[in-house]
Chains A and B, each alone.
Chain A
């Protein structure tokens, strides 16, 4: 049977905040845009973001984008690109207003303006008093934003391919991206979408770890597709462990809890963050708080029968604040920890949460790769959101900057695609051999017979990632981990499905996701092994200091031969002075 084909001006893969904010820009023009998502759009993981989105609106306390920029550069441990950070912090303000105009039900202040709360790593006046910069819809901000963006796309009649799984990018011999091969999950049928521009907005990859705040769907599909297309991943060693996952489960308890006045205690009831971050205390940057919790537990001050977690105290805030500002957390605490946060503290431990690294892009969302002594744009390919690396988060992302990143750069990518379409009016000729390669990735799973199960390999891979690429990383632990992970990768060809049916075969989807997890996970572990310093979320007891002389550079991991390359950090902002690297204390 001949392969079915469709043609669009733009193809967006992923329907979270980045994909939908790119789509709405395009849908508001006369461009033909297709959004492909493996789940119905409002099931995308943006829906789970709780605390809010940063913008220097100054609705509660004095603020401006330049202070926001300083905090973000410092939070990144000076690995973020300062031009991209300036761009994001400036754009934050109109972006949040646009969201509000699009119907997002933000919480409100008495004067009718958008409610803003304090979050970790935020300051006034370049490192001064705590700022209040995070715009919130109670503790369901991501849900409120994702639904509003979906609704706007429904209004604009965006063409959605719901429950279609992206198999691989299609490219020609010059490396230009021509679209993607996708599969309709309901029928199991492949479909080729040709597009003049393709935007990867596939989100994160937290499922590479066993304990994670990420959803089942966060399997690094876009990052792995990029790797297979010969594109490197940047700064993958920087993976954020959120300090407050529900102990043993991983579900997230927003930083907004500490922003509203909650704090952490150990088994002695000691407010231990005072020792690690005398000024910011519980609102220090996430990497700092996560390491503090792990240290407390390692040194025997953990809580519970196994002394394996700490407590997050909220009960002193009173029922009114908790119900009004943190209703979702109260619900999660009840369901998953059996604790009513109004009366009892919540058991918490760091959980794998967010990948700072990703597909390298410029601030317009265009994917860039090394070429000669410089860099060049991959024709026809964009990336935005968690799967991309602009880089605004550097070695550590600040809370509230993730929703901001996906919205600002999703929008920027959508706008740049519009410009790009003016110059590229025609589809490039299709490259049949690339289509065949992509089809082979799909048909490979039709192989029958005995073999390893997807589940078994996935469980082992995720456990290995957790044990060997977690919060604290030594040469020995990581080197052993990389060998184990590569051995698991070598077993992939021996994995077999027992279910070869066509209709809504979720086992086949999980098999395709496993390949993506393996490629993305190894990028993380390998990049981590090679970086011999401690910076932001990458913490090495054997190299405890930051080493700006040798390591203030971005890493690039290539799948072919597991090769590493490096490129300089862009320290020159667009219009203001550079923030030079300083010691990072909170």
Chain B
């Protein structure tokens, strides 16, 4: 099958360009396997990848216009020619490798850890199965960045708008019955940008390779804000 992959080496190229490769596609081939085959043909081709099973979140790329995790995307589901580009809206370091600094900063900005003011018990903090169920669909995030880099609001305001990933994480901690920083977390999300730049375009939901729903999480945060303000 014909692949067109984005190439860019800052040492030698003025701008990114598309390069064509032919890849033989056996049954069951994932996009990552195809990219590895391209690297076999040209070792200077660079992209991030590691676990090969969709849990480490390294190999998010833009394929035929949609952000996907290469290792769990069957080539058979893609239309030829397959165009592979780096995530949109991020500075390109080389080929498919982008600078994700801003994305990680937004993640860190929501204080992604359980805040506990009470003394810790000797054993576990108790949590009922129903309370724990509220974390399903939230904690599984692998920080691949497919969502935030497909979000127009994040493209325009990556330094001010937290983006879908960080907001999903914010809700993951708000929803955790062990966390005792609800007020501080909600206060920190006030203002026109951090949370409220979400215009429910829902690209994030469409592209999440783990089937998570950041838009819904954002809705939960807004509802909780409203409830706490009356």
A residues neighboring B (CB under 8 Å): 39-40, 42-45, 47-48, 57, 96-97, 100-103, 105-114, 137, 140, 143-144, 147-148, 151-152, 154-155, 186, 215-217, 251-252, 328, 331-332, 335-336, 338, 453-455, 497-499, 501-507
Contacts and interface: CB of A to CB of B under 8 A. Distances in A.
Contacts of B104: 40
Contacts of A335: 54, 72, 74
B46 A505 contact: yes
A45 B113 contact: no
B50 A155 contact: no
B53 A332 contact: yes
Nearest to A508: B43
A251 B52 contact: yes
Contacts of B94: 503-504
B192 interface: no
A22 B122 CA distance: 22
B58 to A, nearest CB: 5
A155 B140 contact: no
Contacts of A44: 56
30 contacts: A39-B56, A40-B100, A43-B51, A43-B56, A43-B57, A43-B58, A45-B50, A47-B51, A47-B142, A100-B125, A101-B116, A101-B120, A105-B132, A107-B129, A108-B128, A108-B129, A108-B131, A110-B128, A110-B129, A143-B140, A144-B139, A155-B113, A215-B52, A251-B52, A251-B53, A252-B53, A455-B40, A455-B43, A499-B44, A501-B11
Contacts of A216: 49-52
Given A103-B113, A505-B46, A42 B52 contact: no
Given A455-B43, A501-B44, A507-B44, A103 B50 contact: no
B17 to A, nearest CB: 16
B56 A338 contact: no
A107 B124 CA distance: 12
A217 B120 CA distance: 37
B97 A504 contact: yes
A105 B50 contact: no
Contact of B126 (A113, A215, A332, A338): A113
Interface string B200-214: 000000000000000
A109 B143 CA distance: 28
B10 A503 contact: yes
B43 to A, nearest CB: 4
A57 to B, nearest CB: 8
A336 B53 contact: yes
Nearest to B71: A335
Contacts of A252: 53
Contacts of A186: 93
Contacts of A111: 126
Contacts of A102: 113-114
B93 A498 contact: no
A144 B141 CA distance: 10
B14 to A, nearest CB: 15
A506 B96 CA distance: 12
B127 A215 contact: no
Given A103-B113, A154-B112, A498-B43, A504 B93 contact: yes
Given A499-B44, A505-B44, 16 more contacts: A39-B48, A40-B58, A45-B50, A105-B139, A113-B123, A154-B112, A155-B111, A155-B113, A216-B49, A216-B52, A217-B50, A332-B54, A335-B74, A336-B28, A454-B43, A507-B39
**Interface-centre pick from A97, A144, A504, A507 (highest chain B CB count, 10 A):** A504
B12 interface: yes
A137 B97 CA distance: 32
Contacts of B48: 39
B108 interface: yes
Contacts of A148: 113
Contact of A506 (B46, B55, B120, B132): B46
Contacts of B176: 103, 105
A184 to B, nearest CB: 11
A107 B132 contact: yes
**Interface-centre pick from A105, A151, A502 (highest chain B CB count, 10 A):** A105
B50 A501 contact: no
B82 interface: no
Contacts of B50: 39, 43, 45, 215-217
B99 to A, nearest CB: 8
A186 B98 CA distance: 10
Nearest to A213: B53
B178 interface: yes
Contacts of B112: 151, 154
